[in-house]
Structure 1
Amino acid sequence: MNNVGISNWSGSRTLAGTVVTPTTLDEAADAVARSSHVRALGSRHSFNDIADSEETLLNLAHLAYRHPRLSTPTDGDAPPSSVEPELDESTGRVRVTGSTRYADLALFLHDRGRTLPNFASLPHISVAGSVATGTHGSGIGNASLASSVVGIELLTADGSVRTLTDADAELDGARVALGALGVVTAVTLQSVPAFDVAQTVYGPAGFDDVVAAFEEVSGLGYSVSCFTTLRENTFASIWVKRAGGELEDAWPAQVAGSRAMSEPFHPIPGVDPANATQQLGAAGPSWDRLPHFRADHMPSAGEEIQCEYLVPRQHAVRALEAFRELSGPLAGLVQVAEVRSIAADTAWMSPMYQQDCLAFHFTLVRDNERVAAALPHLDAAFGPVEGRPHWGKVFDADPQRVRGLYPRRSDFVDLARDLDPQGTFTNAFLRRWVF
């Protein structure tokens, strides 16, 4: 099935390439071999042109696994073939098709007493697209989703498959590959034994109180997120998610001077919390608590544009002050902003490469013109503290500055040229920001 023009998840951007939707891996290989330029579509949760192509957009929805408990896709495609993941019980490694959503994989693993170390705030996103852009969850001890990758299968430009495992030095180059090495048809992830998580939401808390106690606040649980609208000098809510032995400890009476909320809360103040995962300290499976949003409901706001910067943790205080000063330039644009912690990883093109980071995430109104005008202010705020833009979200920065932030960039470029000498998988985004 071919069609022209498809939008991203929030409707903020239309991709220009021609969509090809194969029903088998052989059909996908044939489509790649017949195209001079190809990019793969995942859950279409990117907000910039990283997924766009001058020719072919390969939609692998038919190759995704769908868990029976979750509904069928709503993007107009026929239900996928539900190729079941393969779990090695002896090692805990699970092989899954790249277009599979984390929500479906999480349920598959849960049925077998396993899970993943962490999840992003939205479980609706695809595995391949998430790891390729350095997507992450939260927690001072939790690295990006790509850190769980122990194997990747790439459909290369001639239609053949190249497999990289953790026995290959190049795997660190392929974990966060921005789609530049080939179409990721399957990913092998290291799972862990299933564990429970409980979350309690505190707030509101004064901005200064949170900054003063930030190290303590960010270490209160397995995962901690602080939300603010930047319209007042407060954090509207602080989400503390506890796991393991932490569940046996009493919850803090206060966090940065704020008390636990007695009713469920949505990250965006005033929005119905029915879409948010269960709170009030009730323990449940980690896959159903670590994300902020339920897999079977609309995530976040829907009509939105997202921006995010990752800042080395050593600059935390300066970055938090710069974050506060964005209230003016972003006035009328912020639905909610979130501050999270992410541990260092080893992926060459990860913003967290060899350094712990803070993530400053912005959910903005879906107004492309006004958001574009504000983006230079975000880079001016976070650039001086070595801020790296999230690869899948909107930003406006000096390409030379961005390229210079990645010490293994030249190694990555060499790997891309080795695996894709004709540049089949390159596009305008990669030529501007990487190559």
Structure 2
Amino acid sequence: MSTVALSNWSGSRTIAGALVEPTSLADAAEAVARSRHVRATGSRHSFNDVTDSAETLISLRHLAYRHPRLTATSGEDVPPPAVEPELDEATGRVRVSSSTRYADLALYLHDRGRSLPNFASLPHISVAGSLATATHGSGVGNPILAAQLSAVELIDADGGTRLLEDEELDGARVSLGALGLVTSMALETVSAFEVAQTVYGPVPFDAVVEGFEEISRLGYSVSCFTTLREDVFESVWVKRAGTELDAPWPSEVAGTPAMDEPFHPIPGVDPANATAQLGEAGPSWDRLPHFRADHMPSAGEEIQCEYLVPRQHAAEALRALRGLAEPLAGLVQVAEVRSVAADTAWLSPMHRQDCVAFHFTLVRDTARVAAVLPAVDAAFAPYDGRPHWGKVTAADPARVRALYPRREDFLELAARLDPDGKFRNDFVRRWVG
């Protein structure tokens, strides 16, 4: 076991714990059994203390599948593709090791004529961590990525193996790492499909507020980006799929025509790392994310914050977003607004309700960002806004806990699987109980 200064993806915080990197499931089980406290760490794309451990941090990166195409172009010091996914042709389900990144899984599926129904903005994040924190993409009909889950295999506190499915699955979809060390999961796939995206902008802010329902239904996935520097959304990204591709593209969105050259979500940034636009169709895995799998994602040096607001409050929450222009001046790189469909996961912010996500990419200035987080929470709390499990927030934990009607059921499941709380940390205790 080695103690290392392990930073998160953007370098905004250091993750607490002593790192263990087993090269087999047997070694992982032994590490879990001998430790008093264990948390998993993956692509480290969280911005809070969700993965912090009082003792042991376990990374299963040596068991991750890496697609040869990405391994050859990434230039990273990566282990070989030790555990290849397994696709069941009869059911369409794929079994994948937990530390595998979405980009690698997507290419594996593409080679076999399959795809996942949706993807997050970044393809560089690990599958298990994304599911555990209710990470999502966009689209009025698209739920969180964990909705694709059909089974979870994990190592329990004693080092044994457990398979969670059926009645336990909705508790395990969004687990915050509190149920055990997840080693693999089975996901539902669909036939491979193509997506094309066209970017419009700038669109007046009022036009998005008043026409949000219509705008958010222009495609399979729609994202609206604003820097809050002017009273506009600098860009609206419309991603169409399937039969939508047969219909003519809208000539304009709220009076604003399509852009005639590629655009980055953050105005002024080179769009080279953004996925192809201008209505050029391509595989879903290479269009639904905003960023290319073979390039550095997003802006890099940043802190992220996000609130999920029940869809019936969309207009009020959009106006609240506009009201943050002054508090966030000089701090916000870009804010993204998108739709997320309801799901059944007990700890999902979208549990049994459609939501609108308000995501902020902020400059990497921890003190200044912390000072404005209360203003962000005050903007969305009146509309039952729930903070994303992997982002920074100044929300009142008691308020947040009260918004999850199946929270007690999750705690009962966690107590049954891990009675001594080996996998629970301060984050879980603070936000769930």
TM-score normalised to the size of structure 1? Answer: 0.98
Cα shift readout 1:324-352 (whole Å, capped 9, x = no counterpart): 10111111100000000000000000000
Paired residue for 2:228? 230
Question: What is the match of residue 328 of structure 1?
Answer: 326
Q: What amino acid sits opposite 1:379 in the alignment?
A: D
CA distance in structure 2 between the aligned counterparts of 1:346 and 1:265, rounded to whole angstroms: 35
Q: Does 1:429 align with 2:414?
A: no
Conservation of the 8 A alpha-carbon contact between 1:199 and 1:239: yes
1:189 aligned to 2:187?
yes
Matches within 5 A, 1:390-409: 390-409=388-407
Shift of 1:4: 2.0
Q: Which residue of 2 aligns with 1:157?
A: 157
Pair 1:361 & 2:355 matched: no
Shift of residue 98 of structure 1? 0.5
User: Helix, strand or coil: the match of 1:213?
Assistant: helix
- The 3-state SS of whatever aligns with 1:339 is strand
Is it true that 1:79 corresponds to 2:61 in the alignment? no
* Superposition map of 1:268-417 within 5 A: 268-417=266-415
Aligned-residue Cα RMSD (Å) equals 1.3
Aligned partner of 2:355: which letter? Answer: C
Please give the per-residue CA displacement for 1:303-324, whole angstroms capped at 9, x wherever unaligned. 0000000000011111111111
CA 80–21 in structure 1, closer or farther in 2 if over 3 Å, else same = farther
Report if the CA contact (8 A) 2:178-2:424 is conserved. Answer: yes
Asked if the contact 1:71–1:296 (Cα under 8 Å) also holds between the matched residues in 2, the reply is no
Does the Cα contact within 8 Å between 2:3 and 2:17 map onto a contact in 1?
no
How far residue 211 of structure 1 moved from its aligned partner, in angstroms, is: 1.0
Per-residue CA shift, 1:281-311, capped at 9, x if unaligned? 0000000000000001011100000000000
Aligned to 1:418: 416
Residue pair 1:98, 1:185 contacting (<8 A) in 2 also: yes
Instruction: Give the Cα separation in 2 of the matches to 1:3 and 1:25.
Output: 21
Report the 3-state secondary structure (helix = DSSP H, G, I; strand = E; otherwise coil) of the residue aligned with 2:175: coil
CA-CA distance at 1:16 after TM superposition: 1.7
Q: How big is the shift at 1:164?
A: 1.1
For 1:124, the aligned partner's letter is H
Residues 76 and 296 of structure 1, relative CA distance in 2, 3 Å threshold:
closer
Give distance in 1, aligned partners of 2:26 and 2:2: 16
* Residues 236-287 of structure 1: per-residue CA shift (max 9 Å, x gap): 0000000011101111111012110000000000000000000000000000
CA distance in 2, matches of 1:51, 1:275: 28
- Mapped partners of 2:307, 2:343: distance in 1: 16
Q: Distance in 1 between matches of 2:119 and 2:226?
A: 21
Q: Structure 1 residue 147: deviation in Å?
A: 0.2
SS of 2:167's partner is coil
The number of equivalent residue pairs is 433
Per the TM alignment, residue 79 of structure 1 is displaced from its structure 2 partner at its CA by 1.0
After the TM superposition, list the runs of 4 or more consecutive aligned residues in structure 1 that deviate by more than 3 angstroms.
Answer: 72-78
